[in-house]
Structures are given as C-alpha cells and as structure tokens.
Amino acid sequence: MKYLTIIILAFMSLYTDCGEPPYYYSDYKPILMHRDVLGKSIAFSSSRDLKEPGKIYVKGNILYINEKYTGFHVIDNTDPQNPINTGFITVPGSIDIAIKKDILYVDNSVDLVAIDISNGVQNLSVSKRVKSVFPELLPPDGRTLDTEYKQENRPANTVIVGWVKIGK
C-alpha cells in the first residue's frame, strides 16, 4: 500500500499545474541617461556632502570616495585629523574606481573610462572610453525589473545610471 501511495503521488505531481514561478518586482525604478549625454558626463565640480558613500580608494594623500551612482568625492587627507573635501568628479552610474599612475579607471554605467589627472583633478580629461564593458546596473534590492523598465521597452540608446525607490 505504501508503494501505491508513492506512485499515485508521483503521477499526480506530473499532472499538477505548478504555474509560473512568482516574480518579485523591484521597489526601484532606473534612472536612464542617453548614451550621447553619458559620453559627455564626466566633469570636476565643487565639493558636496557625502550622502550615500561607497568604496574608498587611497592614492598618496588623496582619498577618492564613491558616491553611489553619481561620482567621486576628492578628499585631501594630508592632515588626517582635518581632511578637506576639495571637489567632486561627476561620473554617472559609477560604483568603482582604480588608479594607476595619473589615470583614474572608473565605470561610467556600462562603459570603462580612463581619466587623465596628470594636470590635477581640476583639469581632468577623458583619455579613453571602452563602451559596453560592464552589464547594466542591477536594482539595489536585487529583484526583477518591472516590464516597463526592461531594455526593450524604454527609449533607444539609454543606459541605467542609478536607481530611485518607488512607492511603498
């Protein structure tokens, strides 16, 4: 009898409609930027307050602190007891940085960009851009994008450069 019950349950599971797995849509919507604007978006500006800091990179006496999805704070740390926020490098869609000699390597959404700072960060210049190296940024909650925000349903030539929390 025990074997008959197992066989019946096995056959029932074959004919039971389990349906689609549930989709948990993200509580964030993407901030989109046109590729033409993205290509001209890197610039040095005056300092600003840290709001959502990410990774920190140290080069000599300078700290580069990522502001998630917007760029990098430039902090003069010559006197660690009195660090000075000297400026901000705008890099939409950025979350990471590396430096070799006088070149900053940053992610600019899906692109890898080399920024020459040999004349000081105030006089930075983009020396190279390699397009579409990285996958698009994922929502901070790791959930699925709602259908209207998927690439095939949004304006052409746009990339995700950040996220905004929606509702709830």
pLDDT in tens, 9-49: 555 555 555 555 555 678 888 999 999 999 999 999 999 99
CATH number at residue 93: 2.40.128
Q: Which residue has the higher pLDDT, 79 or 145?
A: 79
- Range 129-150 average pLDDT: 85
Q: Determine, yes or no, domain membership for 18.
A: no
Total number of domains in the chain? 1
CB 144 within 8 A of CB 26: yes
Taking the CA atoms of the chain, what radius of gyration do you get in angstroms? 23
Q: Distance between CA atoms of 74 and 87, rounded to whole angstroms?
A: 5
pLDDT per residue as tens digits for the range 70-111: 999 999 999 999 999 999 999 999 999 999 999 999 999 999
Q: Distance between CA atoms of 99 and 62, rounded to whole angstroms?
A: 11
Mean pLDDT of the chain: 87
Give the pair of three-digit tokens for residue 75.
């902090």
In this predicted structure, what is the pLDDT of residue 150? 73
Q: Determine, yes or no, domain membership for 49.
A: yes
Per-residue pLDDT band at 162 (split at 50, 70, 90): very high
Percent of the chain with pLDDT over 70: 83
Among 105, 100, 88, which residue's Cα sits nearest to residue 53? 88
Q: Determine, yes or no, domain membership for 17.
A: no
Q: Judging by beta carbons within 10 Å of its beta carbon (0-12, 13-18, 19+), is residue 29 exposed, middle or buried?
A: middle
Q: Determine, yes or no, domain membership for 42.
A: yes
In this predicted structure, what is the pLDDT of residue 144? 80
Q: What is the pTM of this model?
A: 0.81
Domain boundaries, position 30: 23-165
Q: Determine, yes or no, domain membership for 141.
A: yes
Q: Determine, yes or no, domain membership for 3.
A: no
In this predicted structure, what is the pLDDT of residue 27? 86
Q: Determine, yes or no, domain membership for 155.
A: yes
CA–centroid distance for 2 within its chain = 55
Q: Determine, yes or no, domain membership for 2.
A: no
- Range 49-76 average pLDDT: 96
Q: Judging by beta carbons within 10 Å of its beta carbon (0-12, 13-18, 19+), is residue 161 exposed, middle or buried?
A: buried
Percent of the chain with pLDDT over 90: 68
Q: Which helix (H) or strand (E) holds 160?
A: strand 158-165
In this predicted structure, what is the pLDDT of residue 138? 86
